[in-house]
Structure 1
């Protein structure tokens, strides 16, 4: 009898735990759905079901079943992608871009690394995907890297960006390439969730948080690396701030400016007492040392020879400030520069290709 009573109590405990978990999931889902309905991303149908207000008009059934959408569905389900973006039609990527992608694939072998490219054609079949991969032989061995076309209007659908995008005149924008990139990173993280990285960020060890922002300096917030889950309210606020305060002619206003304005609203002055992160807007807020151990006025140090190499033991990744690189500095093999050491350690396939071809991949 005592044995049966123990079994009954055990079953009741398990049932109670399952009930609590299911209730928590339902409440969280309702919280997210309510927020999406409020923002017009989701609307209620006549029978009360939630329906996503996505752009489907231009999609055929074949397109819907394409390899591209299969990949996106897998990434969306996991919400843990690592994303890079190319907003020009360029296909011959510089070595720094290839190194950034390779380093991420090495540091995050169990996560999909997705490179959205405006110049890439549709990925409908497996063969289309294979052809896209073959274009970048140094990345072929990494099975977690995916190449996908960047379709701006489709990406911006059901976000605050679509009306802005249809209204803005690219011919009158002096920073259009960068402004597009700023918008894309927000829309991608909003829809898919995961980590966004600029293509001049070399990963050196895993970021221990999935929900994070990063300080660029002690007074500004970075737009080069950040991570949030899909449909996070903070990402929506970034997008609204982008559109409501849009000044395209002002460099950085739509990137780090957006992050800094929103972070200031929630957190005011951020005070680090150590290298450890602090909490801001209910996410982790990283010390500048984590991604910017070399600040932008000293960006050329990456292309210099150091008598003693830095360990970067407090950093998760390194931002190489490519937008400052007007002199077109690049990694040159056998020069013993800091950037050569970084390539050799964190993107060896890219490094070996340059070394063997005697090229610099400008």
Structure 2
């Protein structure tokens, strides 16, 4: 009886608390309302900067027409490149002097934040920096409503999942080559197929280096990837929206669902290269890049150094990453000197 009396007395308060809790769950776990910046997991993952233009000095990518070329995405709020990212960009530019290398920032960039990054432009005139507003960038695409409803905010890994979605959106819009900002390019990609990705291992196709051309094969894969993101996006699984997308798409279109058997022959013209092309060191052994020694595989097209797992390791003299940087991004290596991390 006592409990019933208490419930009756405070039923309005209980109802209000219930509605608040229920609303928070709906907002956090669904696309019910857009862009709740105040709901974030930590300050590093707060990407409200994606929706401001304060002090931005970069031209807008929405106003451009890109030929098939190389794209990088920087999706944090720092508005510039750190030493490893700048190394990746320089290495791509040196290997492809006749291709434009486009770095797309989702945050405003200032003269100060770009200061060291712009050293790249002094000797390498094929590097371009652009700003994209994620909502504007997705307009007119199948992901317009998905992005506008704030889906990219409802994830534990906002920076990484924004990059995951935007790489597929960029390849859908323009075609070309996408590279992660932790890939040191060692060989020109001209000789590779028009449409390709590479296996990370025998179970998964990776998304750190991909090419979708504007031909029928490339358009088919790009559209399938966008549809997969709309249907299967998850903010609670690390690799679900990056390598998960291309792996799921290829398992559906290839004649064999066995990742190790995927190739242009089995995947309707879409080539799937082996790990040795871009991932000669698996992520579980990524520390190898930062310890003194040499790599056993020296013929890769690029070296993905797994920055998510290695970002806190310093680059020491005589390590494989130190050797790669000296050879493939000498400007950055010189500019950053002892600050090269």
Shorter-chain-normalised TM-score: which range?
A: 0.7 to 0.9
TM-score, scaled relative to structure 1: 0.70
* Cα drift, residue 310 of structure 1: 3.4
TM-score, scaled relative to structure 2: 0.74
**CA RMSD across the alignment:** 2.6
Aligned-partner Cα distance in 1 for 2:148–2:62: 28
Match of 1:103 among 76, 91, 115: 91
Q: State whether residues 83 and 332 of structure 2, in contact with CA within 8 Å, keep that contact through their aligned partners in structure 1.
A: yes
* Cα drift, residue 206 of structure 1: 1.4
- Equivalent residue number for residue 256 of structure 1: 243
Cα distance 1:132–1:324, how it changes in 2: closer, same or farther (>3 A)? closer
In the alignment, does 2:139 pair up with 1:161? Answer: no
* Cα drift, residue 329 of structure 1: 1.1
Aligned-partner Cα distance in 1 for 2:104–2:62: 15
Aligned-partner Cα distance in 2 for 1:67–1:117: 10
Give the 5 Å matches for 1:1-362. 68=60, 72-73=64-65, 75=66, 78-79=67-68, 81-120=69-108, 135-140=116-121, 141-168=123-150, 172-207=154-189, 208=191, 209-230=193-214, 232-267=219-254, 268-271=257-260, 279-306=266-293, 308-313=294-299, 315-325=300-310, 328-332=312-316, 335-355=317-337, 358-360=338-340, 362=341
Deviations, residues 119-154 of structure 1 (Å, cap 9, x unaligned) = 2359xxxxx9xx997552430211000000021112
Cα distance 1:154–1:329, how it changes in 2: closer, same or farther (>3 A)? same
Q: Which moved more, 1:169-178 or 1:343-352?
A: 169-178
Secondary structure (helix, strand or coil) at the match of 1:222 reads strand
Q: State whether residues 102 and 128 of structure 2, in contact with CA within 8 Å, keep that contact through their aligned partners in structure 1.
A: yes
Cα distance 1:186–1:303, how it changes in 2: closer, same or farther (>3 A)? same
Aligned-partner Cα distance in 2 for 1:161–1:70: 15
Q: State whether residues 87 and 150 of structure 1, in contact with CA within 8 Å, keep that contact through their aligned partners in structure 2.
A: no
* Cα drift, residue 279 of structure 1: 4.8
Q: State whether residues 155 and 234 of structure 2, in contact with CA within 8 Å, keep that contact through their aligned partners in structure 1.
A: no
The runs of 5 or more residues in structure 1 that have no matched partner are 1-65, 123-127
Secondary structure (helix, strand or coil) at the match of 1:280 reads coil
The runs of 5 or more residues in structure 2 that have no matched partner are 1-57
- Equivalent residue number for residue 60 of structure 1: none
- Equivalent residue number for residue 25 of structure 2: none
Aligned-partner Cα distance in 1 for 2:233–2:208: 19
